[in-house]
Each structure stands twice: as C-alpha cells, then as structure tokens.
Amino acid sequence: MSNNLSYQNIKDKISPCGISCEKCFANKNGKIKQHSDELKKYLGNFDVYAERFVSLLSEPQFKQYPAFKNMLQYFTDVECEGCRKTKCHLYTNCKVRDCYLEKGVDYCFQCDEFPCNKTGFDKHLEQRWIQINNRMKEIGVEQYYTETEGKSRY
C-alpha cells in the first residue's frame, strides 16, 4: 500500500459511507484547502492586476476574478474535520454518520442491512455510495484506498 497507511489511518480519510473526506472541499485538513491557501498566498493582491488585465491584455475573463476570489476564500475558510468526527458539512440530509455510530461498523458495506434506504442520499449519491461500498467489499478497504488515492473525489 502506498504511503504505508494502516487501516486506522485510512478510516480517518474515508467516511463511513466510503466517500473520501480527505478529498472533500469542506475538509479543513484536505488538499483542496491546502492548495487554496497556497494559491491565495501566491495571488496576493491580484485584484488590481486582474482589473488592469481586462483591457491591457484584452482578456475579458479577468472580469470574473472577483467571483473566483470569493470561491477561493470559501475553500480556505472550511472547517470540517471529517464525517467520523462531526456531522457532514456537505450533505446535510446524510444519515450515515448516525447509523455508523449506532451500528458500530467502520463502513456501510460491513453492515448486514447494506444496501439500505436509510442514508438520506439523493439518487446520484446513492448510486455512487453503492458502487464504492461494493468495490471496498470486493477488494478490501486498503486496496480501495490505494486504487483511488490519486483520483479526484468529484
């Protein structure tokens, strides 16, 4: 396994539903926040230049910089510690955390009721949840983590 991560370390990175908390934009320890902090730092006072570049470079996309900057700020202000530590900040209807705490399993596929209709997920997320958990069940949590490590969550 890459990075020699233990099962326990992986649990801190993958939520009980199987979706990667470490790759979530809302995770305060995630890569998206880290890269957003870094990008924000390197852009510095780019506002002034973005305004100038609209006419100087004839590049109208620089008019969108204020919206981009707002989004970047949003990514740097995130506070979620992951679904095992706190209620999901992204899917407000998610019931998996409560169920995981009640059932005492690490992942949904380990529950004898999987798949169930207790998640609170919409149809798209429900399909993804089933696919992820079936894959973890098939190859194991550690192998699943390795298989998906370099892939985007979204």
Q: Would you state the pLDDT for residue 134?
A: 98
Give the residue from 95, 97, 105, 91 showing the smallest Cα distance to 136.
105
Q: Would you state the pLDDT for residue 1?
A: 43
The amino acid sitting at 99 is C
Q: Would you state the pLDDT for residue 3?
A: 54
Please list the rounded mean pLDDT of every run of 10 residues in the chain (154 residues).
73 93 92 96 96 91 96 94 85 88 94 94 95 97 94 88
Q: Would you state the pLDDT for residue 90?
A: 79
Q: Would you state the pLDDT for residue 19?
A: 93
Task: Give the SS3 label for residue 72.
Answer: helix
d(CA 12, CA 39): 26
Q: How much of the chain is in helix, strand and coil states, percent to nearest 5?
A: 55, 5, 40
pTM, 2 dp: 0.83
Q: Would you state the pLDDT for residue 4?
A: 64
